[in-house]
Chains A and B, each alone.
Chain A
Protein backbone atom coordinates (compact mmCIF):
# COMPACT_ATOMS: atom_id res chain seq x y z
CA UNK A 1 0.00 0.00 0.00
CA UNK A 2 1.32 3.39 -0.96
CA UNK A 3 0.75 6.28 1.35
CA UNK A 4 -0.09 9.73 0.12
CA UNK A 5 0.24 12.94 2.09
CA UNK A 6 -1.34 16.26 1.25
CA UNK A 7 0.25 18.61 3.75
CA UNK A 8 3.72 20.10 3.59
CA UNK A 9 5.47 22.21 6.20
CA UNK A 10 4.49 25.44 4.44
CA UNK A 11 0.86 24.34 4.13
CA UNK A 12 0.71 23.55 7.87
CA UNK A 13 1.95 27.06 8.58
CA UNK A 14 -0.45 28.38 5.93
CA UNK A 15 -3.48 26.64 7.42
CA UNK A 16 -2.57 27.83 10.92
CA UNK A 17 -2.17 31.42 9.65
CA UNK A 18 -5.46 31.19 7.77
CA UNK A 19 -7.14 30.01 10.97
CA UNK A 20 -5.76 32.94 12.98
CA UNK A 21 -6.65 35.38 10.21
CA UNK A 22 -10.20 34.06 10.04
CA UNK A 23 -10.63 34.31 13.82
CA UNK A 24 -9.35 37.90 13.76
CA UNK A 25 -11.73 38.79 10.91
CA UNK A 26 -14.70 37.12 12.60
CA UNK A 27 -14.01 39.28 15.66
CA UNK A 28 -13.34 42.42 13.62
CA UNK A 29 -16.42 44.23 15.01
CA UNK A 30 -14.50 44.31 18.32
CA UNK A 31 -11.46 46.05 16.88
CA UNK A 32 -12.58 47.84 13.72
CA UNK A 33 -14.74 50.91 13.13
CA UNK A 34 -17.70 51.11 10.75
CA UNK A 35 -15.71 52.29 7.75
CA UNK A 36 -13.15 49.51 8.19
CA UNK A 37 -15.87 46.90 8.45
CA UNK A 38 -17.46 48.16 5.26
CA UNK A 39 -14.11 48.04 3.49
CA UNK A 40 -13.39 44.52 4.77
CA UNK A 41 -16.83 43.32 3.64
CA UNK A 42 -16.17 44.75 0.18
CA UNK A 43 -12.81 42.98 0.14
CA UNK A 44 -14.52 39.70 1.01
CA UNK A 45 -16.85 40.06 -1.95
CA UNK A 46 -13.84 40.65 -4.22
CA UNK A 47 -11.94 37.68 -2.78
CA UNK A 48 -14.98 35.54 -3.57
CA UNK A 49 -15.56 36.94 -7.06
CA UNK A 50 -11.86 36.64 -7.91
CA UNK A 51 -11.64 33.09 -6.55
CA UNK A 52 -14.62 32.07 -8.65
CA UNK A 53 -13.21 33.71 -11.76
CA UNK A 54 -9.88 32.03 -11.05
CA UNK A 55 -11.60 28.66 -10.93
CA UNK A 56 -13.30 29.43 -14.22
CA UNK A 57 -10.41 30.95 -16.16
CA UNK A 58 -7.35 29.79 -14.23
CA UNK A 59 -8.32 26.14 -13.91
CA UNK A 60 -11.02 25.37 -16.46
CA UNK A 61 -9.51 27.67 -19.10
CA UNK A 62 -12.84 29.45 -19.60
CA UNK A 63 -11.76 33.07 -19.95
CA UNK A 64 -15.08 34.80 -19.37
CA UNK A 65 -15.34 38.57 -19.44
CA UNK A 66 -19.05 38.31 -18.76
CA UNK A 67 -19.29 37.23 -15.15
CA UNK A 68 -21.05 40.53 -14.45
CA UNK A 69 -24.06 38.76 -15.98
CA UNK A 70 -24.32 36.66 -12.83
CA UNK A 71 -23.34 39.44 -10.41
CA UNK A 72 -26.16 41.52 -11.87
CA UNK A 73 -28.57 38.60 -12.00
CA UNK A 74 -27.95 37.93 -8.31
CA UNK A 75 -28.42 41.61 -7.51
CA UNK A 76 -31.66 41.86 -9.45
CA UNK A 77 -32.97 38.65 -7.90
CA UNK A 78 -32.49 40.21 -4.46
CA UNK A 79 -34.56 43.23 -5.48
CA UNK A 80 -37.16 41.28 -7.47
CA UNK A 81 -37.76 38.71 -4.74
CA UNK A 82 -37.88 41.41 -2.08
CA UNK A 83 -40.13 43.87 -3.93
CA UNK A 84 -42.47 41.38 -5.61
CA UNK A 85 -42.71 38.64 -2.99
CA UNK A 86 -41.41 40.23 0.20
CA UNK A 87 -38.58 37.69 0.51
CA UNK A 88 -36.16 38.82 3.26
CA UNK A 89 -32.78 39.93 1.81
CA UNK A 90 -30.73 37.24 3.58
CA UNK A 91 -32.95 34.50 2.16
CA UNK A 92 -32.83 36.13 -1.28
CA UNK A 93 -29.02 35.99 -1.21
CA UNK A 94 -29.22 32.22 -0.69
CA UNK A 95 -31.90 31.74 -3.36
CA UNK A 96 -29.89 33.73 -5.93
CA UNK A 97 -27.29 30.91 -6.16
CA UNK A 98 -29.49 28.03 -7.34
CA UNK A 99 -31.56 30.29 -9.62
CA UNK A 100 -28.42 31.60 -11.35
CA UNK A 101 -27.10 28.05 -11.69
CA UNK A 102 -30.31 27.11 -13.53
CA UNK A 103 -30.08 30.19 -15.75
CA UNK A 104 -26.43 29.44 -16.52
CA UNK A 105 -27.26 26.05 -18.05
CA UNK A 106 -28.91 27.33 -21.27
CA UNK A 107 -26.33 30.16 -21.38
CA UNK A 108 -23.53 27.59 -21.24
CA UNK A 109 -25.14 25.46 -23.94
CA UNK A 110 -25.10 28.52 -26.17
CA UNK A 111 -21.65 29.99 -25.49
CA UNK A 112 -19.82 26.66 -25.20
CA UNK A 113 -20.14 26.47 -28.95
CA UNK A 114 -17.49 29.22 -29.03
CA UNK A 115 -13.75 28.84 -28.37
CA UNK A 116 -10.99 31.05 -27.01
CA UNK A 117 -11.41 34.74 -27.80
CA UNK A 118 -14.84 34.11 -29.31
CA UNK A 119 -15.95 32.53 -26.05
CA UNK A 120 -14.75 35.62 -24.15
CA UNK A 121 -16.69 37.91 -26.49
CA UNK A 122 -19.73 35.63 -26.27
CA UNK A 123 -19.80 35.87 -22.48
CA UNK A 124 -19.63 39.65 -22.70
CA UNK A 125 -22.47 39.73 -25.22
CA UNK A 126 -24.57 37.54 -22.90
CA UNK A 127 -23.92 39.97 -20.04
CA UNK A 128 -25.05 42.86 -22.25
CA UNK A 129 -28.21 40.92 -23.13
CA UNK A 130 -28.86 40.52 -19.40
CA UNK A 131 -28.28 44.24 -18.85
CA UNK A 132 -30.70 45.24 -21.63
CA UNK A 133 -33.30 42.83 -20.30
CA UNK A 134 -32.97 44.28 -16.80
CA UNK A 135 -33.47 47.79 -18.15
CA UNK A 136 -36.78 46.67 -19.69
CA UNK A 137 -38.31 45.63 -16.37
CA UNK A 138 -40.37 48.66 -15.32
CA UNK A 139 -41.29 47.09 -11.98
CA UNK A 140 -37.58 47.13 -11.08
CA UNK A 141 -36.97 50.69 -12.13
CA UNK A 142 -36.14 50.06 -15.80
CA UNK A 143 -33.01 51.82 -16.99
CA UNK A 144 -32.72 54.17 -14.03
CA UNK A 145 -32.74 51.56 -11.29
CA UNK A 146 -34.44 51.20 -7.95
CA UNK A 147 -33.71 51.24 -4.20
CA UNK A 148 -34.34 48.39 -1.82
CA UNK A 149 -37.56 49.29 0.07
CA UNK A 150 -36.86 50.61 3.55
CA UNK A 151 -39.33 48.16 5.06
CA UNK A 152 -37.25 45.19 3.89
CA UNK A 153 -34.02 46.76 5.11
CA UNK A 154 -35.41 47.73 8.48
CA UNK A 155 -36.89 44.26 9.00
CA UNK A 156 -33.41 42.73 8.81
CA UNK A 157 -32.34 43.70 12.31
CA UNK A 158 -33.56 45.78 15.26
CA UNK A 159 -30.83 48.43 14.88
CA UNK A 160 -28.68 49.78 12.11
CA UNK A 161 -25.56 48.57 13.90
CA UNK A 162 -26.86 45.00 14.02
CA UNK A 163 -27.83 45.14 10.37
CA UNK A 164 -24.33 46.21 9.43
CA UNK A 165 -22.83 43.44 11.54
CA UNK A 166 -25.14 40.91 9.93
CA UNK A 167 -24.01 42.01 6.48
CA UNK A 168 -20.36 41.96 7.55
CA UNK A 169 -20.58 38.42 8.85
CA UNK A 170 -22.59 37.29 5.84
CA UNK A 171 -19.86 38.66 3.56
CA UNK A 172 -17.18 36.88 5.58
CA UNK A 173 -19.19 33.65 5.68
CA UNK A 174 -19.85 33.70 1.92
CA UNK A 175 -16.22 34.40 1.08
CA UNK A 176 -15.06 31.59 3.36
CA UNK A 177 -17.73 29.28 1.95
CA UNK A 178 -16.56 30.01 -1.60
CA UNK A 179 -12.91 29.41 -0.66
CA UNK A 180 -13.69 26.20 1.24
CA UNK A 181 -15.87 24.93 -1.61
CA UNK A 182 -13.09 25.60 -4.11
CA UNK A 183 -10.55 23.95 -1.80
CA UNK A 184 -12.73 20.85 -1.36
CA UNK A 185 -13.30 20.71 -5.10
CA UNK A 186 -9.59 20.96 -5.88
CA UNK A 187 -8.73 18.33 -3.26
CA UNK A 188 -11.22 15.92 -4.81
CA UNK A 189 -10.80 13.65 -7.79
CA UNK A 190 -12.41 16.35 -9.94
CA UNK A 191 -9.87 18.85 -8.69
CA UNK A 192 -7.10 16.60 -9.91
CA UNK A 193 -8.75 16.59 -13.32
CA UNK A 194 -9.23 20.37 -13.23
CA UNK A 195 -5.59 20.94 -12.38
CA UNK A 196 -4.65 18.70 -15.29
CA UNK A 197 -6.93 20.72 -17.59
CA UNK A 198 -5.29 23.91 -16.31
CA UNK A 199 -1.86 22.59 -17.21
CA UNK A 200 -2.57 20.89 -20.53
CA UNK A 201 -6.01 20.43 -22.02
CA UNK A 202 -4.86 18.15 -24.83
CA UNK A 203 -3.06 15.79 -22.48
CA UNK A 204 -5.95 15.90 -20.01
CA UNK A 205 -8.33 14.70 -22.69
CA UNK A 206 -5.89 12.03 -23.78
CA UNK A 207 -5.72 10.85 -20.17
CA UNK A 208 -9.43 10.08 -20.14
CA UNK A 209 -10.78 13.32 -18.65
CA UNK A 210 -14.11 14.49 -20.04
CA UNK A 211 -12.93 18.09 -20.38
CA UNK A 212 -16.19 19.43 -21.80
CA UNK A 213 -18.33 18.08 -18.99
CA UNK A 214 -15.88 19.34 -16.40
CA UNK A 215 -15.90 22.84 -17.90
CA UNK A 216 -19.67 22.84 -18.02
CA UNK A 217 -19.88 21.89 -14.34
CA UNK A 218 -17.37 24.59 -13.39
CA UNK A 219 -19.29 27.20 -15.36
CA UNK A 220 -22.57 26.36 -13.59
CA UNK A 221 -20.92 26.22 -10.15
CA UNK A 222 -19.23 29.56 -10.76
CA UNK A 223 -22.54 31.14 -11.76
CA UNK A 224 -24.04 29.81 -8.51
CA UNK A 225 -21.39 31.45 -6.35
CA UNK A 226 -21.09 34.63 -8.40
CA UNK A 227 -24.82 35.36 -8.20
CA UNK A 228 -24.86 34.89 -4.42
CA UNK A 229 -22.01 37.36 -4.10
CA UNK A 230 -23.82 39.67 -6.52
CA UNK A 231 -26.93 39.64 -4.35
CA UNK A 232 -24.78 40.40 -1.30
CA UNK A 233 -23.01 43.28 -3.07
CA UNK A 234 -26.32 44.96 -3.86
CA UNK A 235 -27.63 44.31 -0.38
CA UNK A 236 -24.63 46.35 0.76
CA UNK A 237 -25.32 49.07 -1.81
CA UNK A 238 -29.12 49.11 -1.20
CA UNK A 239 -29.63 50.42 -4.73
CA UNK A 240 -29.38 48.76 -8.14
CA UNK A 241 -29.41 49.90 -11.75
CA UNK A 242 -28.59 48.01 -14.96
CA UNK A 243 -25.34 49.92 -15.40
CA UNK A 244 -23.98 49.22 -11.92
CA UNK A 245 -25.30 45.65 -11.79
CA UNK A 246 -23.82 44.59 -15.12
CA UNK A 247 -20.67 46.71 -14.99
CA UNK A 248 -17.86 45.00 -16.89
CA UNK A 249 -15.40 47.32 -15.15
CA UNK A 250 -16.36 46.63 -11.54
CA UNK A 251 -17.19 42.92 -11.73
CA UNK A 252 -14.84 41.64 -14.40
CA UNK A 253 -11.97 44.03 -15.19
CA UNK A 254 -11.02 44.56 -11.53
CA UNK A 255 -11.51 40.87 -10.85
CA UNK A 256 -9.19 39.92 -13.71
CA UNK A 257 -6.66 42.45 -12.42
CA UNK A 258 -6.81 40.82 -8.97
CA UNK A 259 -6.39 37.29 -10.28
CA UNK A 260 -3.58 38.15 -12.69
CA UNK A 261 -1.66 40.14 -10.06
CA UNK A 262 -2.16 37.52 -7.36
CA UNK A 263 -1.47 34.47 -9.47
CA UNK A 264 -3.84 32.79 -11.90
CA UNK A 265 -4.46 29.07 -11.48
CA UNK A 266 -3.52 29.13 -7.78
CA UNK A 267 -6.11 29.07 -5.03
CA UNK A 268 -4.00 31.53 -3.01
CA UNK A 269 -3.66 34.01 -5.89
CA UNK A 270 -7.00 35.86 -5.58
CA UNK A 271 -6.45 36.46 -1.85
CA UNK A 272 -3.05 38.06 -2.44
CA UNK A 273 -4.42 39.94 -5.45
CA UNK A 274 -7.35 41.38 -3.50
CA UNK A 275 -5.03 42.69 -0.78
CA UNK A 276 -2.78 44.33 -3.39
CA UNK A 277 -5.76 45.77 -5.27
CA UNK A 278 -7.28 47.36 -2.16
CA UNK A 279 -3.91 48.66 -0.94
CA UNK A 280 -3.48 50.39 -4.30
CA UNK A 281 -7.04 51.65 -4.35
CA UNK A 282 -6.96 53.03 -0.82
CA UNK A 283 -3.63 54.80 -1.27
CA UNK A 284 -4.12 56.04 -4.84
CA UNK A 285 -7.86 56.72 -5.09
CA UNK A 286 -7.38 60.44 -4.35
CA UNK A 287 -5.40 60.83 -7.56
CA UNK A 288 -8.52 60.50 -9.69
CA UNK A 289 -8.15 58.92 -13.11
CA UNK A 290 -4.37 58.80 -12.65
CA UNK A 291 -5.11 55.96 -10.24
CA UNK A 292 -6.46 53.75 -13.04
CA UNK A 293 -3.36 54.44 -15.13
CA UNK A 294 -1.15 53.45 -12.20
CA UNK A 295 -3.15 50.25 -11.75
CA UNK A 296 -2.58 49.50 -15.43
CA UNK A 297 1.14 50.10 -14.98
CA UNK A 298 1.23 47.73 -12.02
CA UNK A 299 -0.62 45.08 -14.03
CA UNK A 300 1.81 45.39 -16.94
CA UNK A 301 4.83 45.35 -14.61
CA UNK A 302 3.64 42.20 -12.82
CA UNK A 303 2.80 40.46 -16.09
CA UNK A 304 6.29 41.18 -17.42
CA UNK A 305 8.23 40.42 -14.25
CA UNK A 306 6.09 37.57 -12.90
CA UNK A 307 3.69 36.21 -15.53
CA UNK A 308 2.28 33.75 -13.02
CA UNK A 309 1.50 36.52 -10.55
CA UNK A 310 2.84 37.17 -7.09
CA UNK A 311 1.87 33.79 -5.69
CA UNK A 312 3.11 32.02 -8.82
CA UNK A 313 6.51 33.62 -8.26
CA UNK A 314 6.53 32.49 -4.63
CA UNK A 315 5.67 28.93 -5.60
CA UNK A 316 8.35 28.91 -8.28
CA UNK A 317 11.07 30.33 -6.06
CA UNK A 318 10.21 28.85 -2.68
CA UNK A 319 7.91 25.91 -3.44
CA UNK A 320 5.40 27.06 -0.85
CA UNK A 321 1.80 25.99 -0.82
CA UNK A 322 -0.49 27.73 1.62
CA UNK A 323 -3.17 25.07 1.44
CA UNK A 324 -2.51 21.31 1.44
CA UNK A 325 -3.55 20.52 -2.14
CA UNK A 326 -0.64 18.48 -3.39
CA UNK A 327 -0.54 14.71 -3.28
CA UNK A 328 2.89 13.62 -2.12
CA UNK A 329 3.93 10.00 -2.33
CA UNK A 330 5.60 8.86 0.89
CA UNK A 331 8.74 6.91 0.02
CA UNK A 332 10.60 4.38 2.08
CA UNK A 333 14.36 4.85 2.44
CA UNK A 334 14.91 2.14 -0.20
CA UNK A 335 13.13 4.40 -2.68
CA UNK A 336 10.31 1.90 -3.06
CA UNK A 337 6.80 3.13 -2.46
CA UNK A 338 5.50 1.35 0.59
CA UNK A 339 3.31 2.22 3.50
CA UNK A 340 5.04 3.17 6.71
Chain B
Protein backbone atom coordinates (compact mmCIF):
# COMPACT_ATOMS: atom_id res chain seq x y z
CA UNK B 1 0.00 0.00 0.00
CA UNK B 2 1.18 3.51 -0.80
CA UNK B 3 2.21 5.64 2.17
CA UNK B 4 -0.39 8.18 3.32
CA UNK B 5 1.97 11.12 2.89
CA UNK B 6 5.17 10.98 0.90
CA UNK B 7 7.76 13.56 -0.01
CA UNK B 8 9.68 12.42 -3.06
CA UNK B 9 13.10 13.93 -3.64
CA UNK B 10 12.11 17.45 -2.56
CA UNK B 11 14.59 20.28 -3.19
CA UNK B 12 14.25 23.93 -2.26
CA UNK B 13 16.71 26.77 -2.10
CA UNK B 14 16.39 30.40 -1.05
CA UNK B 15 19.07 32.18 -3.06
CA UNK B 16 22.29 30.42 -2.18
CA UNK B 17 20.87 28.69 0.91
CA UNK B 18 19.80 25.11 0.30
CA UNK B 19 16.97 24.32 2.73
CA UNK B 20 15.92 21.01 1.20
CA UNK B 21 18.42 18.91 -0.69
CA UNK B 22 16.59 15.97 -2.22
CA UNK B 23 14.50 15.03 0.80
CA UNK B 24 12.33 11.93 0.72
CA UNK B 25 9.99 10.86 3.47
CA UNK B 26 7.14 8.37 3.80
CA UNK B 27 4.47 8.41 6.47
CA UNK B 28 2.39 5.25 6.71
CA UNK B 29 -1.22 5.21 7.84
CA UNK B 30 -1.47 5.22 11.63
CA UNK B 31 2.17 6.12 12.07
CA UNK B 32 3.61 8.95 14.16
CA UNK B 33 6.85 10.43 12.96
CA UNK B 34 9.11 12.86 14.77
CA UNK B 35 11.51 15.31 13.15
CA UNK B 36 14.28 17.03 15.03
CA UNK B 37 17.10 19.23 13.83
CA UNK B 38 18.93 22.40 14.76
CA UNK B 39 17.44 25.81 14.06
CA UNK B 40 17.57 26.60 10.37
CA UNK B 41 17.77 22.95 9.38
CA UNK B 42 14.75 23.37 7.10
CA UNK B 43 12.07 21.72 9.26
CA UNK B 44 9.37 24.36 8.93
CA UNK B 45 10.16 24.79 5.22
CA UNK B 46 9.53 21.09 4.78
CA UNK B 47 6.10 21.47 6.39
CA UNK B 48 5.35 24.51 4.24
CA UNK B 49 6.12 22.42 1.16
CA UNK B 50 4.08 19.46 2.39
CA UNK B 51 1.09 21.68 3.22
CA UNK B 52 1.31 23.63 -0.03
CA UNK B 53 2.22 27.07 1.29
CA UNK B 54 5.54 26.86 -0.55
CA UNK B 55 6.29 25.25 -3.92
CA UNK B 56 9.40 23.05 -4.08
CA UNK B 57 12.03 23.69 -6.76
CA UNK B 58 12.02 19.98 -7.55
CA UNK B 59 10.37 16.82 -6.28
CA UNK B 60 6.82 15.70 -5.59
CA UNK B 61 4.40 15.60 -2.68
CA UNK B 62 2.09 12.58 -2.64
CA UNK B 63 -1.01 12.10 -0.53
CA UNK B 64 -2.49 8.57 -0.43
CA UNK B 65 -0.64 7.84 -3.67
CA UNK B 66 -1.94 10.93 -5.47
CA UNK B 67 0.42 13.66 -6.67
CA UNK B 68 -0.67 16.83 -4.84
CA UNK B 69 2.42 18.95 -5.61
CA UNK B 70 0.36 21.46 -7.60
CA UNK B 71 -2.58 21.68 -5.19
CA UNK B 72 -3.31 24.75 -3.09
CA UNK B 73 -3.17 24.54 0.73
CA UNK B 74 -6.96 24.62 1.02
CA UNK B 75 -7.38 21.68 -1.36
CA UNK B 76 -4.78 19.71 0.60
CA UNK B 77 -6.55 20.58 3.84
CA UNK B 78 -9.87 19.31 2.51
CA UNK B 79 -8.15 16.09 1.44
CA UNK B 80 -7.13 15.59 5.06
CA UNK B 81 -3.74 17.22 5.48
CA UNK B 82 -3.80 19.68 8.40
CA UNK B 83 -1.00 21.90 9.67
CA UNK B 84 -0.55 23.48 13.09
CA UNK B 85 1.80 26.43 12.70
CA UNK B 86 4.92 26.95 14.82
CA UNK B 87 3.84 30.55 15.41
CA UNK B 88 0.10 30.27 16.12
CA UNK B 89 -2.02 32.00 13.48
CA UNK B 90 -5.38 32.62 15.14
CA UNK B 91 -8.16 34.60 13.48
CA UNK B 92 -7.72 37.42 15.98
CA UNK B 93 -10.98 39.24 15.29
CA UNK B 94 -13.10 36.13 15.89
CA UNK B 95 -13.98 34.28 19.04
CA UNK B 96 -12.14 31.08 19.97
CA UNK B 97 -15.28 29.10 19.13
CA UNK B 98 -15.62 30.76 15.72
CA UNK B 99 -11.99 29.95 14.95
CA UNK B 100 -12.69 26.27 15.39
CA UNK B 101 -16.06 26.46 13.60
CA UNK B 102 -14.39 27.93 10.49
CA UNK B 103 -11.88 25.11 10.31
CA UNK B 104 -14.51 22.48 11.06
CA UNK B 105 -16.92 23.79 8.42
CA UNK B 106 -14.43 24.42 5.62
CA UNK B 107 -11.64 21.97 6.36
CA UNK B 108 -14.06 19.09 6.73
CA UNK B 109 -16.49 20.47 4.14
CA UNK B 110 -19.55 20.35 6.38
CA UNK B 111 -22.48 22.76 6.82
CA UNK B 112 -21.86 25.28 9.56
CA UNK B 113 -24.67 24.25 11.89
CA UNK B 114 -23.53 20.62 11.72
CA UNK B 115 -20.12 21.37 13.23
CA UNK B 116 -21.10 23.28 16.40
CA UNK B 117 -21.10 20.15 18.56
CA UNK B 118 -17.80 18.92 17.24
CA UNK B 119 -16.24 22.38 17.67
CA UNK B 120 -17.48 22.63 21.26
CA UNK B 121 -16.19 19.14 21.98
CA UNK B 122 -12.76 19.97 20.52
CA UNK B 123 -12.50 23.10 22.66
CA UNK B 124 -13.26 20.93 25.64
CA UNK B 125 -10.60 18.39 24.70
CA UNK B 126 -8.00 21.10 24.09
CA UNK B 127 -8.74 22.86 27.39
CA UNK B 128 -10.37 25.93 25.87
CA UNK B 129 -14.02 25.32 26.79
CA UNK B 130 -14.19 28.18 29.30
CA UNK B 131 -12.70 30.61 26.76
CA UNK B 132 -15.02 29.69 23.87
CA UNK B 133 -16.55 33.14 23.53
CA UNK B 134 -13.38 35.14 24.16
CA UNK B 135 -11.69 36.98 21.33
CA UNK B 136 -8.87 34.84 19.97
CA UNK B 137 -6.68 37.95 19.75
CA UNK B 138 -6.55 38.19 23.56
CA UNK B 139 -5.31 34.67 24.25
CA UNK B 140 -2.06 33.83 26.01
CA UNK B 141 0.65 31.98 24.08
CA UNK B 142 -0.33 28.65 25.63
CA UNK B 143 -3.97 29.13 24.70
CA UNK B 144 -3.00 30.20 21.20
CA UNK B 145 -1.10 26.94 20.84
CA UNK B 146 -4.10 25.01 22.10
CA UNK B 147 -6.31 26.84 19.62
CA UNK B 148 -3.87 26.10 16.81
CA UNK B 149 -4.15 22.42 17.61
CA UNK B 150 -7.93 22.51 18.04
CA UNK B 151 -8.31 24.23 14.70
CA UNK B 152 -6.09 21.73 12.91
CA UNK B 153 -8.05 18.85 14.45
CA UNK B 154 -11.34 20.47 13.49
CA UNK B 155 -10.54 19.94 9.81
CA UNK B 156 -10.86 16.15 10.41
CA UNK B 157 -7.32 15.43 9.26
CA UNK B 158 -5.94 12.08 8.18
CA UNK B 159 -2.45 13.52 8.54
CA UNK B 160 -1.58 16.15 11.12
CA UNK B 161 1.57 18.26 10.77
CA UNK B 162 2.56 19.61 14.18
CA UNK B 163 5.22 22.31 14.27
CA UNK B 164 6.72 22.79 17.76
CA UNK B 165 3.42 22.77 19.57
CA UNK B 166 5.10 21.92 22.89
CA UNK B 167 7.56 24.83 22.93
CA UNK B 168 7.10 27.14 25.90
CA UNK B 169 4.83 24.80 27.83
CA UNK B 170 5.30 23.85 31.47
CA UNK B 171 5.99 20.22 32.38
CA UNK B 172 2.38 19.70 33.39
CA UNK B 173 0.98 21.32 30.24
CA UNK B 174 3.39 19.34 28.11
CA UNK B 175 2.19 16.11 29.70
CA UNK B 176 -1.42 17.04 28.95
CA UNK B 177 -0.47 17.81 25.35
CA UNK B 178 1.25 14.45 24.92
CA UNK B 179 -1.88 12.72 26.23
CA UNK B 180 -4.00 14.68 23.76
CA UNK B 181 -1.74 13.79 20.86
CA UNK B 182 -1.78 10.11 21.86
CA UNK B 183 -5.53 10.37 21.94
CA UNK B 184 -5.58 11.90 18.44
CA UNK B 185 -3.36 9.08 17.21
CA UNK B 186 -5.62 6.48 18.75
CA UNK B 187 -8.48 7.94 16.73
CA UNK B 188 -6.57 6.97 13.56
CA UNK B 189 -4.79 10.21 12.64
CA UNK B 190 -1.23 9.92 11.37
CA UNK B 191 1.19 12.50 12.67
CA UNK B 192 4.41 14.24 11.69
CA UNK B 193 5.73 16.23 14.61
CA UNK B 194 8.60 18.73 14.56
CA UNK B 195 9.73 19.39 18.12
CA UNK B 196 12.62 20.61 20.21
CA UNK B 197 11.14 19.12 23.40
CA UNK B 198 12.64 15.69 22.81
CA UNK B 199 11.08 13.87 25.75
CA UNK B 200 7.58 14.89 24.64
CA UNK B 201 8.42 13.60 21.20
CA UNK B 202 9.87 10.30 22.41
CA UNK B 203 6.71 9.60 24.38
CA UNK B 204 4.53 9.91 21.30
CA UNK B 205 6.29 8.72 18.14
CA UNK B 206 7.25 5.49 16.34
CA UNK B 207 10.08 6.80 14.23
CA UNK B 208 12.48 9.72 14.49
CA UNK B 209 14.21 11.60 11.66
CA UNK B 210 17.02 14.07 12.06
CA UNK B 211 17.16 16.96 9.60
CA UNK B 212 20.39 18.86 9.12
CA UNK B 213 21.53 21.07 6.27
CA UNK B 214 18.52 20.24 4.15
CA UNK B 215 18.76 16.44 4.33
CA UNK B 216 17.94 13.64 6.74
CA UNK B 217 21.14 12.47 8.41
CA UNK B 218 19.61 9.82 10.65
CA UNK B 219 16.36 7.89 10.90
CA UNK B 220 14.98 4.99 12.87
CA UNK B 221 13.84 3.89 16.32
CA UNK B 222 13.62 7.15 18.33
CA UNK B 223 15.80 6.23 21.31
CA UNK B 224 18.51 4.69 19.15
CA UNK B 225 18.57 7.75 16.89
CA UNK B 226 18.89 10.06 19.87
CA UNK B 227 21.83 8.03 21.19
CA UNK B 228 23.65 7.88 17.84
CA UNK B 229 26.96 9.67 17.62
CA UNK B 230 25.93 11.75 14.57
CA UNK B 231 23.03 13.24 16.45
CA UNK B 232 25.12 13.83 19.53
CA UNK B 233 27.58 15.76 17.43
CA UNK B 234 25.08 18.01 15.65
CA UNK B 235 22.14 18.12 17.88
CA UNK B 236 22.83 17.44 21.55
CA UNK B 237 23.64 21.06 22.31
CA UNK B 238 20.08 21.96 21.49
CA UNK B 239 18.50 18.82 22.95
CA UNK B 240 20.15 19.57 26.28
CA UNK B 241 18.36 22.95 26.37
CA UNK B 242 15.02 21.35 25.66
Contacts and interface: CB of A to CB of B under 8 A. Distances in A.
Given A198-B93, A209-B74, A327-B95, A1 B85 contact: no
Nearest to B108: A208
A207 B92 contact: no
Contact of A327 (B85, B101, B155): B101
B91 A196 contact: yes
Contacts of B107: 207-208
Nearest to A195: B94
Interface in B141-167: 151, 154-155
Contacts of B230: none
B174 interface: no
A204 B93 CA distance: 13
Contacts of B219: none
Contacts of A192: 98, 101-102, 105, 112
Contacts, number: 121
B109 A208 contact: yes
A335 B97 contact: no
Interface stretch (B8-16, B21-29, B32-40, B120-128): B120-128
Contact of B89 (A2, A198, A203, A331): A203
Contact of B91 (A3, A204, A212): A204
Given A4-B116, A193-B102, A328 B97 contact: yes
Interface string B68-81: 00001111011000
A272 B102 CA distance: 29
A206 B51 contact: yes
Given A196-B102, A205-B72, A329-B116, A337 B77 contact: no
B92 A200 contact: yes
A208 B106 contact: yes
Contact of A337 (B105, B108, B123): B123
A38 B98 CA distance: 42
Interface stretch (B129-137, B183-191, B220-228, B233-241): B129-137
A207 B155 CA distance: 7
A42 interface: no
A317 interface: no
A328 B51 contact: no
Nearest to B132: A329
A200 B90 contact: yes
Contacts of B94: 195-196, 199
Interface residues of B, number: 46
A189 B129 contact: no
Interface residues of A, number: 32
Given A189-B112, A193-B106, A329-B97, A208 B78 contact: yes
B83 interface: yes
Contacts of A205: 53, 72-74, 77
B92 A199 contact: yes
Interface string B52-78: 010000000000000000001111011
A212 B129 CA distance: 32
Contacts of B120: 2, 329, 337
Contacts of A335: 129-130
Contacts of B154: 207
A324 to B, nearest CB: 13
Contact of A207 (B53, B77, B113, B133): B77
A198 B116 CA distance: 22
A1 B78 contact: no
A326 interface: yes
Nearest to A211: B74
Contacts of B99: 196
Given A189-B112, A195-B102, A206-B73, 20 more contacts: A1-B116, A2-B117, A195-B94, A195-B98, A196-B99, A199-B92, A202-B89, A203-B91, A206-B53, A207-B77, A208-B107, A211-B74, A265-B93, A327-B98, A327-B101, A329-B132, A331-B129, A335-B130, A337-B120, A337-B129
